[in-house]
Amino acid sequence: MASLIPMVRRIVAARVDDAAMADDLVQETLVRVLAAAGRVDAGMLEPYAIATARNVVATAWRDRDRQRRNQHRVVDLDTPDPPDTELLASEERAAVAEALARLGDRDREALLAHEVSGRDTRSLAAELGSTPGAVAAQLHRARARLRVEYLLARDHTEPPTDRCRPVLLALSSGDRRRQREVEAGRHLLECDACAGLSQPLLDRAPPREDAVRIPVDGDGDVVAARQAARELAARLGCFSRTDLTLIATAVSEVTRNIVKFAGSGEVVVEVLEEPRTGVRVTARDTGPGIPDVERALQDGYSTYAGLGLGLPGARRLMDEFAIASEVGRGTTVTMTRWCGER
């Protein structure tokens, strides 16, 4: 860092005549370079410092020019912070502190060492008698738990059931297998508290290109689910136009059942790669359920004027079909269509 100082001074002095201002900009540049030193290869520090110095000077001139152009204005361009800013910041700090306190000692210490002290997984593994991979997995789980506990502390609430925390942790970690094991989708339909808490956890996850989720609560969502299923299946490139129409029709039927009998629910369409390429459709609701599933799967059984296919028609259009229904708890239909000849 010391060897960079003369070079940074020359770059700044060539662009700034005011000695005091130049000293300030040199210090600002060195602070930024020092903060990034751990992320920049040693051989790249000099070009990084050059680029940083130029950017700092350019920003300073832009700020000075803006100030000069607006000196005549009565209105202060620097908007004061809202009066509740400090209160909100205090509540934020309190929620983070409470969430950290809820973690186990081992997870909390590892997380603070990594995130605050900048310790890498290799040094932590040597200290803990573990491996870098195991430490990375531990940190991933600790972050997921911290996000959940932070939301609970921020909202001053506790999960209403024993199922809530496992579901929220599965969502926070992005573990799709675990989400299926705890039936996260069904739980979010049943639990209003977790549905509200889950949105920040779902929003932070990168959008998936191999799956789409359509909330269903009206006739317009039938069309949305049908189109989403068709588009996702078409991306695979292995389904014919006829296949795509059959998939869309089956999705339309099960989605219409949700609207007609349950009022609301969701349809999830996802790409499968194992045991071979295909698409799986999961339609779930928390409606009244089906008292007699066997009868509902018989041809000709229908209690409304749909396309005339109903559940038995949807079952014929897909390669695999399963239905689970419980009176008072709702219905889940899972359908799969594989690429290739049937």
Nearest CA to 193 among 215, 160, 168? 160
pLDDT recorded at residue 283: 92
pLDDT recorded at residue 77: 56
Q: Report the distance separating Cα 201 and Cα 135, nearest Å.
A: 23
Q: Which residues, at least 6 apart from 82, have a Cβ–Cβ distance to it below 8 Å?
A: none
Q: At residue 223, what are phi and psi to the nearest 5 degrees?
A: -65, -45
Q: Residue 305: pLDDT band by 50, 70, 90 thresholds?
A: very low
Q: Residue 69: pLDDT band by 50, 70, 90 thresholds?
A: confident
Query: What would the pLDDT profile of 118-170 be if each residue is shown by its tens digit?
Result: 888 888 888 888 898 888 989 999 999 999 999 999 888 898 899 899 999 98
pLDDT recorded at residue 306: 43
Query: What would the pLDDT profile of 197-213 be if each residue is shown by its tens digit?
Result: 887 887 666 666 788 88
Q: Report the distance separating Cα 87 and Cα 1, nearest Å.
A: 39
Model confidence at 308: pLDDT above 50: no
Q: What is the mean pLDDT of the chain?
A: 84
Looking at the chain, the whole-number percentage of residues with pLDDT higher than 70 is 91
Query: What would the pLDDT profile of 224-246 be if each residue is shown by its tens digit?
Result: 999 999 999 999 989 988 889 88
pLDDT recorded at residue 300: 59
Question: For the residues 283-296, what does the mean pLDDT come to?
Answer: 86
Strand partners of residue 267 = 214, 283
Name the more confident of 36 and 141. 141
Question: For the residues 38-52, what does the mean pLDDT come to?
Answer: 81
Nearest CA to 285 among 219, 328, 330? 330
Q: Report the distance separating Cα 156 and Cα 271, nearest Å.
A: 38
Q: Report the distance separating Cα 288 and Cα 286, nearest Å.
A: 7
Q: Are 181 and 153 in contact (CB under 8 A)?
A: no
pLDDT recorded at residue 302: 54
253: left (phi over 0), alpha (psi -120 to 50) or beta: alpha
Determine which of 56-65, 79-88, 260-269 has the lowest per-residue pLDDT on average: 79-88
Q: Report the distance separating Cα 241 and Cα 248, nearest Å.
A: 11
Q: Are 248 and 240 in contact (CB under 8 A)?
A: no
Query: What would the pLDDT profile of 253-273 be if each residue is shown by its tens digit?
Result: 899 989 988 888 999 999 998
Question: For the residues 53-65, what does the mean pLDDT come to?
Answer: 89
